[in-house]
């Protein structure tokens, strides 16, 4: 009964994904095994050269660099996001949806508009510089725009609300009696947090981290606009293959390897989370 | 829920979604162009003049519209404005209509040079809409002397470091390197490519940013002192600050041409031809020159320009003969992969 | 004392994070009232750009399209994604293939999904328009909703469901009165996430919208207008979107004095 019920529940979504993701993407990714035609079409001769090219040091280096930048964004975003979600969950229940709404509201404007607003703030003659001068600072301002830090700032900013949303749900329904019980047994606030709250809400953080990492790695607009095009993330390279270089086979090969790596990381992450939560239940 | 119910529900959902509309009216001509690249009333004027319905959709970059056209075989589009290397690709992939000049009488307005362009001599599949050069746009009041070489950008003087930008689009980024080293902008030799790559990686360290859209704003505020720019865009800076000037370096420039292409799969060929003809009318075409500050390859249109405009924006006065001295960017076939790799290397260099 | 200090800390954290989130927003709102066209100098207060905005039928049509796409794709994604999450977590052994399938939409680069869907629809000669944008958006939205709901379900006590069944409750009653109330915050969070993703999505919308003017979404319109940088008109648009959203929330609060669920 339970098994059949679960199948009915999963079927519509899985069918949707099969028809509108697996089949179309499968067709495109299969191009990885063919060759780019002279004018950018596809020449249907079987080859593995595209897959081999993915492991070239240039692309491997870009991937590792992207992972580093994305990883930094993940850490910062998760700390800030979890803290914010914790604070929202600590507010009166009636206010919580309102606070969540205001947390995502900025992101219903437009990505480009927000990014240009950051550029107005951070550029050499921008608002922050003008504020500093008005406050009396005379010296040379450090470069705030077009640095790697700017890219990380942009990524953290863009995906922070997603972490907040992901961490909120586990935190919101945390049974307060558990925390009380922990206190009654003599644990300090910090210990309660570290050994009770955090493990129970770990799935939320894990999901948030996944969101930020996955979305950051594929992001190609932020490095282009806030990084001044000086930092190449793997998202830029894939985009360039499909659109600028007109090299769908190589783009497909890059995507295939990228998806495979990320899939492994994610499945590993799921294992880790299940074990982490499992320990708390024991 | 049985499978039958699921099927009904799915059909209902899809039918419901499709009723939201969004499919283009079969009769309307669909034209894709950059924002602000035609007169705001061009579509209405065309409809009024010829009785054909038309709708304008926008694209941001050549690459995006090309991706869409290639993936869908051009379905749904009738006329697109793309730069010349991309018109070549459309032609090579069989997506561009072979033009019948008899159906575009206003082609006689084009300069003779515009009918002998390297990418499409005789205008077999594309009609030029605007053309110009790529050079250096700079603040004359912030620089001790005017720049005259691409190497002034690639190996800038000490006080210019961190105050220059280059174009982010790969063909123009590479073109600066090619021209600085006296090579063709369509160079394919491997050793030459390696030299240019190294030169551009060295230049990267001195740049403020790669910027395709806000470089003239940076000049106006003084955040940048010298930028690689298309001549039309430099005019926007000049309009805001008269100290800004444009120069074509001594090594030369490339001749960029934006063209109009009719898609082979169009269902409205008559209306498409009528539209192209309408755009090539001297009065209509002149709008582009006067408002977008780009040169148009239309002889009567350019002749009717207010001389004051040319005084304020000197690069509007470059003659077609002078333009043809520069090389057009062409599709380089197999070498495109090498170009793409080099640009990736440059962009990824630390 | 302990509680007041803790409460103050919570407010401080909220204040800090929200200040960070709203910094560029305050800039863009301010710029929308700037009389001058360029964002580099303040030349005086003006509402002219709002006037220009209302006269621009294209932008308004695109905004309405985006709203339709976001609302419908969020609705579908929330239904499908929540059901998927419950179905997956119900099982004792979760197939690794299904895990991979659920993560895939998040991992696949946008440009790949965009081109894949366009090629696929073209191959099938399936007519394209807003409906295909919605279908495409549901693909990644449902994965995000599913992930958020699953995170909450990881610490769900399934024995409650069994107890409810043992006490004679039919399946749908169990879901409605045992599972869904617990999941309510996760479902709301997932829906907000899906809506946010959809409202600001450009590349997939551009490729799957077909060729007509009638299926242009707001991100497509704005990206195309970016040619000359962000005009105050665009900033005014963003400000209006925010203003309308806040008004909608205030109305919803007023109409909905009783908050649903626990």
Q: Determine, yes or no, domain membership for B1.
A: no
Distance from CA of C257 to the nearest CA of B (A): 32
- Contact of A193 with chain B, judged by CB distance below 8 Å, is answered with no
Query: Residue A1: pLDDT above 60?
Result: no
What is the pLDDT averaged over residues B46-51? 93
Residues 206-245 of A with CB under 8 A from B: 224, 228-232, 236-237, 240-245
CB-CB neighbors (< 8 A) of B76 in chain C:
128, 210-212
Domain co-membership, B312 together with B181: no
Q: How far is CA C169 from CA A10, C83, C158, in A?
A: 22, 19, 15
- Contact of B339 with chain A, judged by CB distance below 8 Å, is answered with yes
Q: Which of C119, C132, C134 lies closest to B71 in CB terms? A: C119
Domain co-membership, B203 together with B336: yes
Q: Please answer yes or no on whether C226 and B213 come within 8 Å at the CB atom.
A: yes
Query: Residue A26: pLDDT above 90?
Result: yes
Q: Please answer yes or no on whether A203 and C135 come within 8 Å at the CB atom.
A: no
Q: Which residue is closest to C26 within chain A, CA to CA?
A: A117
Domain co-membership, B250 together with B261: no
Query: Residue A280: pLDDT above 50?
Result: no
What is the pLDDT averaged over residues B300-309? 93
Q: Which of B70, B204, B345 lies closest to A230 in CB terms? A: B204
CB-CB neighbors (< 8 A) of A106 in chain C:
21-22, 24-25, 242
Q: What is the pLDDT of residue B310?
A: 92
Domain enclosing residue B343, as ranges:
132-254+329-348
Q: Token pair of C158, please?
A: 């399934």
Computed over its alpha carbons, how large is the radius of gyration of chain C? Answer: 22
Domain co-membership, B154 together with B239: yes
CB atoms within 10 A of CB A198: 15
Q: What is the pLDDT of residue C258?
A: 47
Any idea what DSSP says for residue A109? S
What is the pLDDT averaged over residues B299-313? 93
Q: Determine, yes or no, domain membership for B93.
A: yes
Confidence of residue A2 (pLDDT cuts 50, 70, 90): low
Lowest-pLDDT range, A26-30, B293-297, C167-171?
Answer: C167-171
Q: Which of C6, C104, C182 lies closest to A21 in CB terms? A: C104
- Contact of B73 with chain C, judged by CB distance below 8 Å, is answered with yes
Lowest-pLDDT range, A162-171, A193-202, C187-196?
Answer: A193-202
Say yes or no: ipTM exceeds 0.90: no
Q: What angle do CA B217, B219, B222 make, to 5 degrees?
A: 110
Q: Which of B67, B211, B341 lies closest to A243 in CB terms? A: B67
Distance from CA of B269 to the nearest CA of A (A): 25
Q: What is the pLDDT of residue B152?
A: 94
Q: What is the pLDDT of residue A110?
A: 85
Looking at domain A52-281, its CATH class is: mainly alpha
More confident residue, B130 or C256: B130
Cβ contacts below 8 Å, chain A against chain B, sum to 93
Any idea what DSSP says for residue C214? G
Q: Please answer yes or no on whether A20 and C117 come within 8 Å at the CB atom.
A: yes
What is the pLDDT averaged over residues B56-83? 93
Q: Token pair of A221, please?
A: 């607009």
* Dihedrals phi, psi of B326, to nearest 5 degrees: -95, 155
**What is the full per-residue pLDDT of chain C (262 aa) written as tens digits?**
457 788 898 999 999 999 999 999 998 888 888 877 666 667 778 888 888 888 888 888 999 999 999 999 999 999 999 999 999 988 877 677 888 899 899 999 999 999 999 999 999 999 999 999 999 999 999 999 999 999 888 878 888 888 887 887 777 777 788 888 888 889 998 999 999 999 999 999 999 999 988 999 999 998 888 766 667 778 888 888 888 888 888 887 787 754 554 3
What is the pLDDT averaged over residues A249-278? 85
Cα C205 from Cα C201, distance rounded (Å): 7
Nearest to A254 by CA among A68, A27, A43, A53: A53
Q: Which of A8, A103, A170 lies closest to C21 in CB terms? A: A103
Q: Which residue is closest to C225 within chain A, CA to CA?
A: A112
Q: Determine, yes or no, domain membership for B32.
A: yes
- Contact of B220 with chain C, judged by CB distance below 8 Å, is answered with yes
What is the pLDDT averaged over residues B270-298? 93
What is the pLDDT averaged over residues B127-139? 95
- Range C57-255 classified under CATH 3.40.50.970: no
Q: Determine, yes or no, domain membership for B43.
A: yes
Q: Please answer yes or no on whether B66 and A246 come within 8 Å at the CB atom.
A: yes
Q: Please answer yes or no on whether A244 and B341 come within 8 Å at the CB atom.
A: no
Q: Please answer yes or no on whether C171 and A5 come within 8 Å at the CB atom.
A: yes
Q: Name, in order, each residue with C-beta under 8 angstroms of C135's C-beta and a sequence gap of 6 or more.
A: A20, B14, B17, C208
Q: What is the pLDDT of residue C49?
A: 85
Cα A232 from Cα A210, distance rounded (Å): 21
Q: Which of C96, C116, C249 lies closest to A24 in CB terms? A: C116
Residue whose pair of structure tokens reads 């119910």 in the numeric block: B5
Percentage of chain B surpassing pLDDT 70?
A: 93
Q: What is the pLDDT of residue C16?
A: 95
Dihedral sign from CA coordinates of C232, C234, C235, C240: positive
Q: Please answer yes or no on whether A169 and C186 come within 8 Å at the CB atom.
A: yes
Looking up residue B200, the CATH number of its domain turns out to be 3.40.190.10
Domain co-membership, B212 together with B72: no
Domain co-membership, B315 together with B335: no
Q: Which of B14, B64, B217 lies closest to C229 in CB terms? A: B217
Nearest to B171 by CA among B236, B253, B101, B250: B253
Domain co-membership, B86 together with B155: no
Domain co-membership, B115 together with B146: no
- Contact of B340 with chain A, judged by CB distance below 8 Å, is answered with yes
What is the pLDDT averaged over residues B151-158? 93
Highest mean pLDDT pick, A217-221, B27-31, B176-180, C30-34: B176-180
For testing the chain B interface, which of C68, C109, C131 should be mutated: the one with the most B CBs within 10 Å? Answer: C131
Domain co-membership, B105 together with B72: yes
CB-CB neighbors (< 8 A) of A63 in chain B:
none
For testing the chain A interface, which of C4, C49, C154 should be mutated: the one with the most A CBs within 10 Å? Answer: C154
For chain A, which chains pass the contact test of at least 3 CB pairs under 8 Å?
B, C
Cα B174 from Cα B182, distance rounded (Å): 12
Highest mean pLDDT pick, A29-33, A173-177, A185-189, C243-247: A29-33
CB-CB neighbors (< 8 A) of A102 in chain C:
18
CB atoms within 10 A of CB B40: 11
Q: What is the pLDDT of residue B10?
A: 60
Distance from CA of B74 to the nearest CA of C (A): 9
Q: Please answer yes or no on whether C134 and B21 come within 8 Å at the CB atom.
A: no
Q: Which of B13, B22, B76 lies closest to C130 in CB terms? A: B22
Quick: pLDDT tens for B187-233.
999 999 999 999 999 999 999 999 888 888 889 888 899 999 999 88
Cα B133 from Cα B279, distance rounded (Å): 22
Where exactly are the structural domains of chain C? Answer: 57-255
For chain C, which chains pass the contact test of at least 3 CB pairs under 8 Å?
A, B
Q: What is the pLDDT of residue A99?
A: 92
Contact A150, A144 (CB under 8 A): yes
Contact C240, C53 (CB under 8 A): yes
Quick: pLDDT tens for A207-218.
999 999 999 998
Q: Please answer yes or no on whether A111 and C219 come within 8 Å at the CB atom.
A: yes
Averaged pLDDT of chain B: 90
CB-CB neighbors (< 8 A) of C98 in chain A:
10, 14
Q: What is the pLDDT of residue C61?
A: 92
Any idea what DSSP says for residue C259? P
Q: What is the pLDDT of residue B17?
A: 64
Domain co-membership, B159 together with B183: yes
Query: Residue A97: pLDDT above 90?
Result: no
Q: Which residue is closest to A86 within chain C, CA to CA?
A: C10
- Contact of C134 with chain A, judged by CB distance below 8 Å, is answered with no
Q: Which residue is closest to A41 within chain B, CA to CA?
A: B93
- Contact of A157 with chain B, judged by CB distance below 8 Å, is answered with no
Q: What's the number of domains chain B is made of?
A: 2
Q: Which of A24, A207, A248 lies closest to C148 in CB terms? A: A207
CB-CB neighbors (< 8 A) of C209 in chain B:
22
- Contact of B168 with chain A, judged by CB distance below 8 Å, is answered with yes
- Contact of C175 with chain B, judged by CB distance below 8 Å, is answered with no
Query: Residue A56: pLDDT above 90?
Result: yes
Q: What is the pLDDT of residue A279?
A: 46
Domain co-membership, B102 together with B147: no
Q: Which residue is closest to C77 within chain A, CA to CA?
A: A13
């Amino acid at each position: 009964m339970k098994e059949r019920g679960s199948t009915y529940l999963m079927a519509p979504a899985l069918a949707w994904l099969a028809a509108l993701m697996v089949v179309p993407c499968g067709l495109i990714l299969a191009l990885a095994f063919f060759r780019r035609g002279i004018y950018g079409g596809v020449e249907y001769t079987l080859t593995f050269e595209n897959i081999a090219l993915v492991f070239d040091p240039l692309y491997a280096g870009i991937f590792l660099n992207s992972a580093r930048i994305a990883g930094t964004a993940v850490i910062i975003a998760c700390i800030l996001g979890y803290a914010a979600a914790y604070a929202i969950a600590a507010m009166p229940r009636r206010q919580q949806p309102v606070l969540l709404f205001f947390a995502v509201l900025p992101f219903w404007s437009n990505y480009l508009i927000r990014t240009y607003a950051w550029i107005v703030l951070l550029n050499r003659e921008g608002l922050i510089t003008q504020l500093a001068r008005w406050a009396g600072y005379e010296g040379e301002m450090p470069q705030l725009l077009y640095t790697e830090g700017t890219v990380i700032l942009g990524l953290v900013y863009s995906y922070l609300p997603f972490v907040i949303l992901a961490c909120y749900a586990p935190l919101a329904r945390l049974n307060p009696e558990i925390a009380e019980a922990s206190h009654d047994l003599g644990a300090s606030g910090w210990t309660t947090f570290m050994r009770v709250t955090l493990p129970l809400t770990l799935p939320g953080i894990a999901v948030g981290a996944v969101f930020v990492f996955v979305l950051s790695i594929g992001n190609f607009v932020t490095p282009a606009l806030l990084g001044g095009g000086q930092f190449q993330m793997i998202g830029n390279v894939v985009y360039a293959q499909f659109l600028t270089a007109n090299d769908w086979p190589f783009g497909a090969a890059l995507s295939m390897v990228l998806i495979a790596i990320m899939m492994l990381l994610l499945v590993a992450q799921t294992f880790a989370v299940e074990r982490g939560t499992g320990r708390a239940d024991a | 829920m049985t499978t039958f119910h699921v099927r009904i529900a799915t059909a209902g959902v899809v039918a419901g979604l499709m009723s939201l509309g969004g499919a283009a009216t079969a009769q309307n001509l669909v034209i894709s162009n950059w924002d602000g690249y035609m007169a705001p009333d061009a579509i209405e004027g065309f409809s009024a003049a010829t009785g054909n319905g038309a709708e304008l959709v926008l694209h941001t970059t050549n690459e995006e519209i090309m991706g869409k056209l290639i993936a869908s075989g051009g379905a749904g589009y009738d006329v697109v404005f793309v730069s010349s290397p991309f018109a070549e690709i459309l032609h090579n992939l069989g997506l561009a209509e072979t033009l019948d000049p008899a159906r575009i009488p206003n082609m006689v307005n084009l300069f003779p040079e515009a009918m002998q362009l390297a990418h499409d001599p005789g205008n077999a599949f594309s009609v030029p809409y605007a053309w110009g050069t790529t050079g250096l746009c700079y603040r004359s009041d912030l620089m001790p002397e005017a720049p005259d070489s691409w190497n002034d950008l690639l190996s800038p003087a000490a006080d210019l470091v961190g105050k220059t930008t280059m174009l982010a689009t790969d063909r123009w980024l590479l073109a600066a390197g090619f021209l600085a080293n006296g090579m063709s902008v369509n160079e394919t030799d491997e050793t030459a490519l390696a030299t240019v790559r190294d030169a551009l990686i060295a230049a990267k360290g001195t740049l403020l940013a790669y910027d395709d859209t806000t470089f003239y704003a940076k000049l106006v505020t003084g955040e940048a002192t010298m930028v690689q720019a298309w001549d039309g865009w430099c005019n926007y800076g000049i309009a805001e600050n008269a100290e800004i000037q444009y120069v074509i370096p001594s090594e030369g420039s490339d001749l960029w041409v934006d063209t109009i292409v009719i898609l082979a799969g169009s269902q409205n060929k008559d209306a498409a031809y009528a539209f192209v003809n309408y755009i090539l009318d001297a009065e209509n075409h002149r709008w582009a020159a006067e408002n977008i500050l780009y040169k148009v390859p239309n002889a009567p249109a350019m002749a009717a320009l207010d001389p004051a405009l040319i005084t304020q924006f000197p690069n509007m006065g470059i003659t077609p003969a002078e333009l043809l001295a520069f090389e057009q960017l062409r599709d380089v076939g197999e070498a495109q992969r090498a170009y793409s790799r080099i640009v990736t290397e440059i962009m990824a260099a630390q | 004392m302990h509680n007041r200090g803790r409460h103050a800390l919570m407010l401080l954290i909220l204040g800090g994070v929200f200040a960070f989130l709203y910094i560029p927003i305050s800039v863009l709102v301010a710029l929308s009232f700037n009389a001058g066209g360029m964002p580099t100098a303040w030349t005086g207060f003006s509402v002219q750009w709002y006037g220009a905005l209302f006269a621009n039928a294209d932008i308004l049509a695109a905004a309405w399209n985006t709203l339709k796409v976001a609302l419908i794709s969020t609705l579908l994604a929330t239904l499908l994604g929540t059901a998927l999450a419950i179905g997956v977590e119900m099982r004792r052994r979760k197939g690794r293939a299904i895990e991979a399938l659920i993560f895939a939409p998040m991992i696949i680069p946008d440009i790949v999904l965009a081109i894949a869907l366009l090629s696929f629809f073209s191959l099938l000669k399936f007519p394209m328009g807003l409906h295909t944008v919605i279908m495409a958006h549901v693909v990644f939205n449902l994965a995000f909703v599913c992930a958020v709901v699953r995170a909450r379900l990881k610490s769900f006590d399934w024995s409650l469901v069994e107890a409810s069944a043992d006490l004679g409750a039919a399946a749908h009653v169990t879901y409605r009165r045992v599972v869904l109330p617990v999941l309510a915050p996760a479902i709301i969070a997932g829906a907000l996430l899906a809506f946010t993703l959809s409202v600001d999505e450009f590349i997939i919308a551009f490729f799957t919208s077909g060729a007509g003017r009638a299926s242009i979404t707001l991100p497509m319109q704005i990206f195309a207008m970016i040619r000359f940088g962000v005009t105050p008109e665009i900033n005014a648009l963003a400000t209006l979107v925010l203003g309308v959203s806040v008004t909608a929330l205030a109305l919803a609060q007023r109409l909905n004095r009783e908050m649903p669920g626990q």
